[in-house]
Structures are given as C-alpha cells and as structure tokens.
Amino acid sequence: MSESREAFANPFRPGAGHMPPHLAGRRAETEEFERLLEQDPILENLVLTGLRGVGKTVLLETFKPIAIRNDWLWVGTDVSEAASLSETALAIRLLTDVSVVSSQMVIGQSSGTGFASAGRQQTLSYETLSALFAATPGLVEDKLKAVLELVGQAVRAEGKRGVIFAYDEAQNLADSTSKDEFPLSLLLDVFQSLQRKGYPFMLALTGLPTLFPKLVEARTFAERMFRVVTLDRLDDAGSRDAILKPIEAVDCPVKFSDESVETICEESSGYPYFIQFICREVYDVFIQQIEREGTTSAVRLDSITRKLDTDFFAGRWSRATDRQRDLLWCIASLSTSDRQFTVQEIVAESKSLTKPFSSSHVSQMLVALQTLGLIYKNRWGRYSFAVPLFDRFILRQHDSAPSLA
C-alpha cells in the first residue's frame, strides 16, 4: 500500500447507519427538529420516515448532539421485534433506556413508596424503576406512567428540558389483537397522557413509510401527535456535495471529473446510500490505477452496478416467487414505477404477458409483497416500491452501463 493511500483512506462509507464524511442536503430537516426542541409543553413528536438508503438513521444520530447541546437528555436504540411482542416487553425496553440517564438522579433518603429502605439515598437506577413498576397497582400502562412521572419530576429538578426517546426501525412496533397485546397503542397512550400533564418527554421515531399509517391505525389521535418529516433523495446540489466534499482535502489523491460526478448523480438518483456505495468503489479503482499507472482512466460502471446488485438488491429479489417476479416486472415497466402506481395500472401493463393478472390477483399479490418488504401502500391507496431504485434493478440486465472518466 502506498503512502498516499495510507495517508488518505477511502472516505466513503456505505452501510446501515454509518455516518458519511459529509452530511449533505438535510438543513431543512435539522431546522425542523430544532424547532421541536423549543416546545414547552410538548405538542408534537417527531416521525422521520423514508425508504431504505435515504439516511434516516444517520440523520437521527446527528440530532442527538443537537438535543444534548440544548439541555435535553437522549435515550433509545433500534426497536427490535422482541420489544413488540408484548406490552410488558415494551415497558421494560423504555425503563432500561431511560435508566441510562436517570441512574445518577437522587430522589431523596426515603421514597415512601415501599420500594426503598428508609434513610438510604435513593437513585433512579433500573432496579429502582423496575421495583416501582412492580409495586404500582393496575395495568402495564398505569405502572409505566407512574414510573415515568417520577423520572419526569427528577429531570426537571436536574434543570434539564426533558428526555427524548429516540427509536430507529420503529415500523417494527405492532399491536397483536390475536394475542391481546397492544405495545404500540401503549406507547402512544402513555406519551400522550404524560405530555398532556406537562411532563417533558418527546418521541423521535424513524422508520419506513409504513410507520406513520401504523401509528394512526393504532390510535387516530396520532395524526395530531406527530410531525412527520419525510426524507427523500438529495437534490442535484446535495448529491454533488456528498460526492465532492469528502475528497476536497488537499492531500486526497483522487479527484472526480465533472463527467464522473454527473454520472454518479444520475446512477444514484440522489439516494445517499448509493452515492456512498458508488463513490467508494470508484475511489478504490482510481487509487489502484494511480498506484499502478500514475493516473486515472475510465471506470466501467457496470462492474460496480453488479456488485451493488449482489450486495443490496439480490437478497430482497430472492424472496419473491417466479409469479411475483412477473408482477414486479410489470410494475418496473410502468412509467411511474419510481413514484407510485395502482392496481389498475399493473393490470393494464400485464396484458402483454402470456398469463396476465386480474385485479383481484394483483391485490392479493401486493399484500404478499408488502409482507416481504418489497412494496408498501401509502395512505391514499397507491403503492410504491419499498426499496429505492428497485425498478432499475429489475430491468437492469437489459441495459448497458456508462463509463466514469
């Protein structure tokens, strides 16, 4: 490895939640979050939503230091499916998370609630919170409210503005009527009640576009409880910044030509993950060319595209049956495949197939494809691909790839 490569490692970082070297084009979303931080009392919570690859997790991580600088405490993690199994499991998740910031808060020598020894200094550790949870009579909701009200009082006594409960992959939260477990409804009921009483707790949830409809389905008041911020692809200026800013350092041995930048913008369609993926691969190829030949030449994009297909798309495509792939091909062939489409449009497109689809068959298959995470239904009854640029992947084998120079 040459000294130039050791001195300036590849700055591009595609991956789930990996912080890019330069966060481009998210100023408006950041300002909206800063506005929410000024609330007192809290009337709106945050839902940060969008397709995979738009940078939801990364943006949520950049919100954390902003909140802390503004005297908020920050707790949370990814929402695993295990947390959605029951109301008690979700309550334990919340108590575990909040105890990270509350464990140093002292509530006196004796609590008088039956879970602390008289004359002993009591802190809001997980053990204290779980003991109070167990000792409080009533339903899980009653128990959780009692514990969080005590935490809220201690937070204010500490001079903090409040606590933000930040949960990524929140679309995993779900009620189960068949099991008589309603963890999602519990979350909404508890936080609405606490916020109505003036307690300084805010939810910051990120998830796929199915998240907000699930919240509203669980509790209709959720429509008024959340400020929905939808992350979309970057515009041209944001895409160019994401490509060029990481290599602007004077000691960076790689430079992208205007033609290369234009091609990367076009091929990535402005999705941050794909920008990072393509730029990382091109950077590595250019470095090898510099070390071997002292200069860079054109890079065929088709080899990078094949690797992207293998790393990102192939696993999702393998979940679909042959007949489902026929349906997905019809969708990808629509002129609106990159935005939204209807059952009727799919049926009309399928007439070119040997075995076209009926409306009822399309509707049934779309439900199955939603379960597979390939399609989602928006609030207006239209459908979209849940995976960005999936339509291009489906059609790609018939396309030729441009070069980067």
Per-residue pLDDT of 102-159, as tens digits, reads 999 988 654 445 554 555 678 999 999 999 999 999 999 999 999 999 999 999 999 9
Residues 222 and 256 grouped into a single domain: no
Residues 220 and 148 grouped into a single domain: yes
* Chain segment 354-394, per-residue pLDDT in tens: 999 999 999 999 999 998 989 998 767 899 999 999 999 99
Judged against a pLDDT cut of 50, whether residue 5 lies above it is answered with no
What's the pLDDT band for 85 if we cut at 50, 70, 90? confident
Parent domain of 267:
236-297
Domain-embedded: residue 58? yes
Residues 156 and 55 grouped into a single domain: yes
Residues 173 and 67 grouped into a single domain: yes
Tokens 């575990």 map to which residue?
A: 96
Beta strands in 153-216 (DSSP E): 162-168, 201-207
Higher pLDDT, 294 or 59: 59
Q: What are phi and psi of 204, to 5 degrees?
A: -130, 100
Judged against a pLDDT cut of 50, whether residue 4 lies above it is answered with no
Residue at which a domain ends, from 195, 230, 265:
230
Judged against a pLDDT cut of 90, whether residue 215 lies above it is answered with yes
Question: Which stretch of 39-48, 193-202, 390-399 has the lowest confidence by average pLDDT?
Answer: 390-399
Residues 129 and 179 grouped into a single domain: yes
Residues 81 and 166 grouped into a single domain: yes
Residue at which a domain ends, from 203, 230, 257:
230
| pLDDT for res 142 | 98
Instruction: Say which CATH number the domain at 339 has.
Output: 1.10.10.10
Q: What is the pTM of this model?
A: 0.86
Q: What are phi and psi of 348, to 5 degrees?
A: -65, -40
Q: Over the range 117-152, which residues count as b (16 or more CB within 10 Å of their CB) and which as e?
A: eeeeebbbebebbbbbbeebeeebbebbbbbbebbb
d(CA 185, CA 225): 13
Residues 216 and 241 grouped into a single domain: no
| pLDDT for res 79 | 83
Averaged pLDDT of the chain: 89
| pLDDT for res 109 | 54
Report yes or no: 33 and 227 within 8 Å, Cβ to Cβ: no
Residues 220 and 240 grouped into a single domain: no
Tally of domains within the chain = 3
Residues 338 and 282 grouped into a single domain: no
Which are the contacts of 9, defined by CB distance < 8 A and separation ≥ 6? Answer: none
